[in-house]
Amino acid sequence: MNSLKHGIKVEKQLNNTYKVYYDNNVFLGDIFAKEDGFYDFWPEYPGRGGYWPAYLLREIANKLDQLNEPYQKDIDTYFANKCGC
């Protein structure tokens, strides 16, 4: 299990998806790759209302940015080469 700052844990699964947990092992949701190859977070917090603090959202967003970086670089390179930008 990879620990991120602020007690968020991300566990890679065999099918290249990720489980996201708070530090007390409360399951927060999944990270899945969509058809376009980019990863998104799908929250799963049944029976619990309330708020999501900024640091928690930031850590999830940072993990998504890390996972999506190779795809975004490929797209940026492709379009830079196409338009000569």
- CB-based contact 3:21 (threshold 8 Å): no
Q: Which pLDDT tens digits describe the chain residue by residue (85 residues)?
A: 454 455 789 999 998 899 999 888 889 999 999 999 999 999 987 676 778 889 899 999 999 999 999 999 988 898 888 766 5
Domain count, the chain: 1
C-alpha 68 chain-centroid distance: 8
Domain of 78, in residue numbers: 2-83
Report d(CA 11, CA 81) in Å as an integer.
36
Beta-carbon contacts of residue 39 (< 8 Å; ≥ 6 apart):
18, 31, 32, 33, 64, 67, 68
DSSP code, position 34: -
